[in-house]
Structures are given as C-alpha cells and as structure tokens.
Structure 1
Amino acid sequence: MSRSPGHTVLAVGVPDLDDHVRTRTAHYDASFVSADPAFVHAHVTLLAPWMANPTTSDLDEVGRIAAATAPFDMRLARVDTFPDGLIHLRPEPEAPLRALTAALSAAFPDHPPYGGRFGDVRPHLTLDAVADGITPETVAAELRDLLPVRQRVDRIDLQWWANHDCRVLASWKLGQPA
C-alpha cells in the first residue's frame, strides 16, 4: 500500500452505488474508505486533481459555477471499459456533466482534468479494473439488481482523498446562489 499525499476532487456523488464502490475501494486499499457520512465514494469526477489548498475566491468561483447550472437528471446503466482496463459506468446524458467540467476547467486552467493526461475526458463512474476474474461482464452481473440508477444531479462536492483522511470539504447546490 502506498501513501497518498492527498488530492482534491470536484465530483458528483452517486449514493445509490456507494456500497458497491466502497466495497471495491476497501478491497484495493481500505485506507481510502471514508468515515465521513457526507463522503460518497461512488462519484462522477468533474475536475481532479484540483488544488490542495483552494482560497476563498477559488471556492466562491466553484459556487458561482454551481449556481449558474440548473439541476439535471442522469441515468447510469451502461458498463463500459476504457482502453487501460478501467471498468466504469457511462452517465447519460453526458452533455451536462461535460459542460460542468468545461466551466470548471475554464475557471481553473492550471488544473486540467486528470492533469491533462487525456484528450477527450469522458464522464464516468469508476467501478473496478480488468484483472483475473474481473471483467465488464462480471461487474455488470454484480450490479444487475442496482442498475439502472436514475439520479437528480443537484450538487457538486469538493472531496479530499488521502490515506485515512477521505472527507467532504465543501458542497454547492446547483441552481442556487452560494
């Protein structure tokens, strides 16, 4: 197990899948299982890694973006796999999530999604990774009683991810002034 210096994630939590993702997180590294009841392990990343020590001005800017974004509905049903073997769910529609990521990226150009490692960043909820006995089909079978998930997206959470210290630092409602 490696030690993480920690990083922030601007994310949309998906509580209906949290038990599953929490279990998989514990399987790989239990030090990332949060004791914070507000922390949702199952999430769609909007921007990460973000800044470790955001200023009040930075937080206010996220609040302005959240306030300018109307809540929307998403559906998670399709299990997919990235070329690197990351098994994930693809939210539908993607456009509102892409718009949030674009707005956050424009506001914080020094913090591109995933450090700029990927060109077209597709919104997704990470489930697992391909390995012996773990395939998109086995993951889909594990989730058959949970999918599809339909959710009203109405908030952005600022999560802190670090060994033994995963927690929510801030949260903003969509469509409401901060």
Structure 2
Amino acid sequence: MADDEAQGFQAGQSGLIVRVPEAEPLVRAWRDRLDPSARAGVPAHVTVLFPFLDASRIDDAVCAEIGEVLARHRSFEARFERCGRFPGVLYLAPEPDTGFRQLTEAIVARWPEHPPFGGQFADPVPHLTIAQSQAEATVDQAEADLRTGLPVVAQISSVDLLVHDGTRWRWRASFPMRRRGGAV
C-alpha cells in the first residue's frame, strides 16, 4: 500500500493485500527505515486493491463475497528476482505477476467503483514496496543490498483485508485461495 504520510490515510480506509512473509528477512530492516507504511503496521506485501471499501461497509456479507471471489483462484508461486523503480519508489518485482493481476481484476470486476489506487494508473504494476520518497543514494544502497539476497520465492495462497484505525493498519480477515490442483 502507499505511503501513509503522503497519502493522508484516514480511519476506516481498507485495502486487500497478499502478504509475502518469505521476503521479511530480506526487506524488513529496509522497509522499517524507508517505507512509512511498514512503520504503520503493513507487512511485506503486494497490493491487490487499495483503496477498497470503507470499513463501515465491510460486514459478514461483504467478507463472504470477497471469499467467494478469491476462492475461484488457485494459489501460485511468485519469485522476486529483481528490484524495480517507479518515481520515488524502490520495489521488488514478482515474476510472474499474472496471478496478482488476476486477483486485482477479479476484485475490481466485483467492485468496479474501487479501481486500483483510485484510478491513478492505467496499468497498475504488482510490486512489493521497499522505499518511498527517499534520497537516491539511500535507495541505491538499499537496492544493492537487496540484490545480494534475491531471489525470494513465495507461495501465494491467501489475501488479507487490512483496515486503517486512524494510526495503524490492522488485520481484519484472510481469504484463502484454492490450493493448486484443487477443484473449482
């Protein structure tokens, strides 16, 4: 998810993410230092959809719908083999990124009034943010360090719903995907 300080997150905002715990040993120190969302409680992740519904609109029925949408998708493996950059952002790039794109497309198909990143980008690129709005030399140092620990291989099997409480992001629910080879 995006930078708390730059985005002005407010209580009640929510987002759907794929946690990538396999990346934590490599990225945690850099994210804690260079990504304000990490300090606000967001783990290493790839965003599926942000912003999502206001927390006041998320009830058991909405959670059931999210679960139904995501259960149609098989779990998959993602490899993070390289770093990438957007203006002001250093990230790890998942390969392939198709599974992440399909998750986003499925959620947006159900809730089209909530485009990824508020519709800021025509083609949102799946990524795991490491640094935001940092000095170029610092980002270069982080990237050089991260490259020594790549690749990171992750098993993607669920999507988490996070809600901002006005100060921090908090876990609200997890939605499992279908196991590889599992029936529809």
Q: TM-score, normalised by structure 1?
A: 0.83
2:23 matches 1:17: yes
Residues 30 and 142 in structure 2, CA contact (< 8 A), matched pair in contact too: no
The one-letter amino acid paired with 1:71 is: S
2:81 matches 1:74: no
Q: Which residue of 2 aligns with 1:44?
A: 46
**1:57-93 CA deviation, whole Å, 9 max, x = no partner?**
22111101221111100001210111x2211111011
Q: Which residue of 1 aligns with 2:170?
A: 167
**1:101-157 CA deviation, whole Å, 9 max, x = no partner?**
00001111111100111110110011103414223x422222244321101100000
Considering only aligned residues, what root-mean-square deviation do their CA atoms show, in Å? Answer: 2.6
| Contiguous gaps of at least 5 residues in structure 2 | none
Which residue of the other structure, out of 107, 110, 134, is the alignment partner of 1:107? Answer: 110
CA gap of 1:141–1:8, structure 2 versus 1, over 3 A, is same
CA gap of 1:104–1:85, structure 2 versus 1, over 3 A, is same
2:10 matches 1:5: yes
The one-letter amino acid paired with 1:11 is: I
As a proportion of its length, which structure holds more helix? 2
Distance of 2:117 and 2:111 partners within structure 1 = 13
Q: Would you say how many aligned residue pairs link Structure 1 and Structure 2?
A: 170
Q: Which residue of 2 aligns with 1:37?
A: none
The one-letter amino acid paired with 2:152 is: V
Shift of 1:28: 5.6
Distance of 1:25 and 1:164 partners within structure 2 = 16
Shift of 1:27: 5.2
Distance of 1:46 and 1:112 partners within structure 2 = 11
CA gap of 1:163–1:142, structure 2 versus 1, over 3 A, is farther
Distance of 1:33 and 1:95 partners within structure 2 = 28
Q: TM-score, normalised by structure 2?
A: 0.80
Identity of aligned residues (%): 31
The one-letter amino acid paired with 1:41 is: P
Residues 24 and 127 in structure 1, CA contact (< 8 A), matched pair in contact too: yes
The one-letter amino acid paired with 1:75 is: R
